[in-house]
C-alpha cells in the first residue's frame, strides 16, 4: 500500500533545545487530538520559507499535524511555564492553551518555534479548557500577517485548522487551532517565573539560553547580562516605536505578552486606531485605559523594569550596584524610544536628515490631528499623495500654516521632492487592517463559511505600501466611524 508520507517529504526538521533548560521551565505535553480536523487557511510563503512541503501540509497527515492529532517526526511537544503581571497583578500562568511542538530549523538555518495554539488542556490551564475558537484564531492570522507585511517584528501564522468540535464560551463556537511561528516564546514572564520560583542558577540558565538564541553577539561580553538587558530594552524601544508609528494598539501588554526576542506576540484584543487620539482603547477588559495607544511606551518601560528586576542577581554581586546599573539601563528606554520614533516620524513626513524644528512640526501635526479627529493612517496617506484636501484638517488656518512650514522644511533639503515622496510611500502604509474590514472578513468566514472576503483582505494587506488602485476601497472609512468598536480577549 502506498502511504502518502513516503511520497511526500514532510520538510519538518525539528530540534528541541528548550528541553536543555531545567525541567521546571516546561512540562512534556502532547496536544489533544482533534476530532475531525479541517484546513481553513495555510500561509504558503511562510510554509516555503520554513522548508515545509505544502502538498504534505494540505494532505490528511499534514492537517492532522496542524491539529495536534499526529505529532510530526522529531517534535517533542511541551507546555512552557511562565508567570506575568496581568494589568499590574503578578500571577503564575504558563501555556494553558498551547503546546510547543519544537523548533523548526529552516533551510536558512533559522531556529523557529512551532506552536499549536488552542490544542487542549495542559497543567497550566487553570480553569480554562485549553481550546480556542475559529474567529479569534483567524483574527490572529490576519493581524499578525498584516504586521509582518507592515515591517513590524511579529510572530507569524502558518495555518488555522478547525477541530470539528465546539468550544463553549457565551455560546457554542467552532473550535480551531492556530499554528504560530516565533523566534521563541520566551517572555518577560518566563524570567519572572524563574526569579520567583527558581534559583539564581535557573535564571542564569534561562538567560544564557536566551542570549545564545537571540543575542549571540553579546555572548562573550564581560558583563553579558547587563548587555542582554540593554539589548532587550533597545529591541522593545524599536518595536513599540513601530506600533506607535502605525497606530497599532496591542491591547493587553501584560508582561507575559512581551517577548524577549522583540517580536509582537499574542494577538488578543489588538486593533489599529482610526482617528488619532492617544487615549484610544478598544479592549473590552481594559476599563481604565492602562493599555491605551498613548500609554504603550510607558507600559513597555514598566514591563522592562520588571524584566530588569529578574536580572539583578546576575548583573552584579553587589545588590546596590546591580540596582543602579539596571536602573540606568531602563532609564535609557525613553531616549531610545524617542530616537526610533523621531526617525520614523521624519520618514513619515518625507524629511531627510535632522533639523531643529522637526520635533515641533511633528507635535503640531499630531495635536491638530487630535483636535480635528483626523484618521491616523489616511492623514499620512493624504500627505504622501499631496492630497491635502482629503484630510480632516483641510480648510483650516492651522493646517495651511503648518503646510507652509513643512514646505519650507522640505525645500531646504538636498534630496528632491521625488525622493521625499518615495520615502513617505515607504513609511506610510496606504492600508491597515481596518476594524470594520477585519470584522467583515471574520463574519463571512465564521458565520457563512465564506473565506473569500478574508482572502481578498489578506491579499491587500500583504502589500501595505503598494499604493495600488485595488487598495482604494480598503482605504475608505466605515460609514459610521467605529468609535465604539470593542475587541475581546478571545479566550
Return the SS3 of 271. strand
Site for ligand AMP contains 130 (CB under 6 A)? yes
Q: How many residues does the chain have?
A: 491
Helices (H), 52-151: 54-58, 60-66, 134-150
Interface map 131-160 toward ligand AMP (x if CB under 6 A): x-----------------------------
> What is the distance between the alpha carbons of residues 439 and 436, in angstroms, rounded to a whole number?
5
With CB under 5 A as the contact rule, the residue among 257, 283, 391, 428 that binds Mg ion is 257
Nearer to ligand AMP, 5 or 24 (CB): 24
From the candidates 256, 266, 286, 375, give the one annotated as an active-site residue.
Answer: 256
Cell readout for 361 is 512640526
- Find which of Mg ion, ligand AMP, none residue 45 binds, CB within 5 to 8 Å per kind: none
> What is the distance between the alpha carbons of residues 359 and 83, in angstroms, rounded to a whole number?
39
Site for ligand AMP contains 85 (CB under 6 A)? no
With CB under 6 A as the contact rule, the residue among 190, 192, 227, 257 that binds ligand AMP is 257
Q: Where does this chain touch ligand AMP (CB under 6 A) — which range of 126-134, 287-295, 359-367, 480-488?
A: 126-134
**Do 264 and 155 form a contact (C-beta atoms < 8 A)?**
yes
Look up 256 and say whether it is catalytic.
yes
> What is the distance between the alpha carbons of residues 444 and 453, in angstroms, rounded to a whole number?
7
Q: Where does this chain touch ligand AMP (CB under 6 A) — which range of 40-48, 94-102, 177-185, 301-309?
A: 94-102
Nearer to Mg ion, 145 or 266 (CB): 266
Site for ligand AMP contains 189 (CB under 6 A)? no
Nearer to ligand AMP, 138 or 326 (CB): 138
User: Other CB atoms closer than 10 Å to residue 196's CB: what's the count?
Assistant: 11
The CB-nearest residue to ligand AMP is 128
What residues from 107 to 126 belong to the interface with Mg ion (CB under 5 A)?
A: none
CB of 167 to Mg ion, least distance (A): 18
Site for Mg ion contains 266 (CB under 5 A)? yes
Contact residues for 354 (Cβ-Cβ < 8 A; gap 6+):
342, 346
Give ∠ CA 89-95-99 in degrees, rounded to 5: 165
CB of 215 to ligand AMP, least distance (A): 24
Give ∠ CA 37-39-43 in degrees, rounded to 5: 145
Q: Where does this chain touch ligand AMP (CB under 6 A) — which range of 125-133, 204-212, 352-360, 371-379?
A: 125-133
Nearer to Mg ion, 103 or 266 (CB): 266
β-partners of residue 156 are 181
The CB-nearest residue to Mg ion is 266
**Do 377 and 461 form a contact (C-beta atoms < 8 A)?**
no
> What is the distance between the alpha carbons of residues 303 and 195, in angstroms, rounded to a whole number?
15
Nearer to Mg ion, 149 or 257 (CB): 257
> What is the distance between the alpha carbons of residues 255 and 259, in angstroms, rounded to a whole number?
8
Query: E-assigned strands of 37-110?
Result: 38-42, 78-80, 83-86, 89-92, 98-105
Site for ligand AMP contains 128 (CB under 6 A)? yes
For the chain, the C-alpha Rg in angstroms (whole number) is: 23
- Find which of ligand AMP, Mg ion, none residue 310 binds, CB within 5 to 8 Å per kind: none
Nearer to ligand AMP, 71 or 83 (CB): 83
Number of residues that bind ligand AMP (CB under 6 A): 17
Return the SS3 of 84. strand
Interface map 264-303 toward ligand AMP (x if CB under 6 A): --x-x-----------------------------------
With CB under 6 A as the contact rule, the residue among 27, 106, 223, 491 that binds ligand AMP is 491
> What is the distance between the alpha carbons of residues 336 and 91, in angstroms, rounded to a whole number?
30
Number of residues that bind Mg ion (CB under 5 A): 2
Helices (H), 355-488: 358-371, 376-385, 397-411, 417-427, 435-448, 452-461, 472-475
- Find which of ligand AMP, Mg ion, none residue 268 binds, CB within 5 to 8 Å per kind: ligand AMP
Pairing of strands 83-86, 98-105: unpaired
For 11, 126, 263, 304, 480, the CA distances from 257, given in Å and listed in that order, are: 30, 18, 10, 12, 32
Site for ligand AMP contains 94 (CB under 6 A)? yes
What residues from 319 to 338 belong to the interface with ligand AMP (CB under 6 A)?
A: none
Return the SS3 of 158. strand
CB of 441 to Mg ion, least distance (A): 23
Site for ligand AMP contains 370 (CB under 6 A)? no
Nearer to Mg ion, 276 or 282 (CB): 282
CB of 121 to ligand AMP, least distance (A): 7
Helix 319-348 and helix 417-427, axial crossing angle in degrees, nearest 10? 120
Site for Mg ion contains 103 (CB under 5 A)? no
Question: Looking up cell 468566514, which residue turns up?
Answer: 445
CB of 149 to ligand AMP, least distance (A): 23
Site for Mg ion contains 95 (CB under 5 A)? no
**Do 19 and 78 form a contact (C-beta atoms < 8 A)?**
yes
Residues taking part in catalysis: 256
Give the residues lining the site for ligand AMP (CB under 6 A): 93-97, 124-125, 128-131, 256-257, 266, 268, 489, 491
Amino acid at each position: 500500500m502506498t502511504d502518502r508520507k513516503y511520497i511526500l517529504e514532510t520538510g519538518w526538521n525539528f530540534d528541541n533545545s528548550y528541553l536543555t533548560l531545567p525541567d521546571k521551565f516546561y512540562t512534556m505535553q502532547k496536544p489533544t487530538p482533534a476530532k475531525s480536523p479541517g484546513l481553513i487557511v495555510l500561509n504558503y510563503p511562510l510554509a516555503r520559507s520554513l522548508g515545509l512541503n505544502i502538498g504534505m501540509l494540505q494532505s490528511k497527515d499534514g492537517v492532522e499535524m496542524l491539529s495536534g492529532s499526529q505529532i510530526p517526526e522529531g517534535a517533542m511537544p511541551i507546555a512552557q511555564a511562565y508567570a506575568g503581571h496581568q494589568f499590574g497583578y503578578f500571577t503564575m500562568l504558563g501555556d494553558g492553551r498551547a503546546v510547543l511542538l519544537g523548533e523548526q530549523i529552516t533551510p536558512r538555518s533559522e531556529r523557529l518555534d512551532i506552536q499549536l495554539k488552542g490544542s487542549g488542556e495542559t497543567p497550566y490551564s487553570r480553569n480554562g479548557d485549553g481550546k480556542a475558537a475559529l474567529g479569534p484564531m483567524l483574527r490572529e492570522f490576519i493581524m499578525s500577517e498584516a504586521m509582518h507585511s507592515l515591517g513590524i517584528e511579529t510572530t507569524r501564522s502558518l495555518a488555522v485548522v478547525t477541530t470539528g468540535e465546539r468550544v463553549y464560551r457565551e455560546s457554542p463556537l467552532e473550535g480551531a487551532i492556530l499554528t504560530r511561528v516565533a523566534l521563541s516564546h520566551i517572555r518577560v514572564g518566563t524570567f519572572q517565573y524563574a526569579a520567583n520560583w527558581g534559583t539564581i542558577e535557573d535564571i542564569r540558565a534561562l538567560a544564557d539560553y536566551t542570549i545564545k538564541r537571540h543575542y549571540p553577539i553579546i555572548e562573550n561580553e564581560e558583563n553579558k547580562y547587563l548587555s542582554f538587558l540593554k539589548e532587550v530594552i533597545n529591541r522593545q524601544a524599536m518595536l513599540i516605536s513601530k506600533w506607535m508609528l502605525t497606530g497599532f494598539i496591542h491591547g493587553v501588554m501584560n508582561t507575559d505578552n512581551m517577548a524577549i526576542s522583540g517580536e509582537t506576540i499574542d494577538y488578543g484584543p489588538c486593533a489599529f486606531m482610526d482617528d488619532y487620539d492617544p487615549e484610544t482603547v478598544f479592549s473590552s477588559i481594559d476599563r481604565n485605559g492602562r493599555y491605551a495607544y498613548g500609554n504603550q511606551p510607558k507600559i513597555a518601560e514598566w514591563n522592562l523594569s520588571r524584566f530588569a528586576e529578574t536580572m539583578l542577581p546576575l548583573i552584579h554581586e553587589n545588590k546596590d550596584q546591580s540596582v543602579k546599573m539596571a536602573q540606568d539601563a531602563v532609564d535609557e528606554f525613553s531616549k531610545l524610544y524617542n530616537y526610533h520614533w523621531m526617525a520614523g516620524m521624519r520618514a513619515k513626513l518625507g524629511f531627510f536628515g535632522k533639523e531643529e524644528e522637526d520635533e515641533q512640526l511633528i507635535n503640531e501635526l499630531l495635536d491638530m490631528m487630535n483636535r480635528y479627529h483626523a484618521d491616523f493612517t489616511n492623514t499620512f496617506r493624504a500627505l504622501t499623495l499631496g492630497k491635502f484636501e482629503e484630510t480632516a484638517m483641510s480648510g483650516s488656518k492651522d493646517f495651511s500654516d503648518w503646510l507652509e512650514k513643512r514646505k519650507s522644511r522640505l525645500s531646504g533639503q538636498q534630496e528632491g521632492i521625488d525622493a521625499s515622496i518615495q520615502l513617505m510611500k515607504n513609511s506610510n502604509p496606504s492600508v491597515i487592517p481596518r476594524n470594520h474590514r477585519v470584522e467583515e472578513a471574520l463574519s463571512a468566514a465564521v458565520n457563512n463559511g465564506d473565506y473569500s472576503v478574508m482572502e481578498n483582505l489578506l491579499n491587500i494587506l500583504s502589500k501595505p505600501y503598494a499604493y495600488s488602485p485595488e487598495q482604494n476601497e480598503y482605504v475608505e472609512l466605515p460609514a459610521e466611524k467605529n468609535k465604539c468598536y470593542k475587541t475581546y480577549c478571545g479566550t
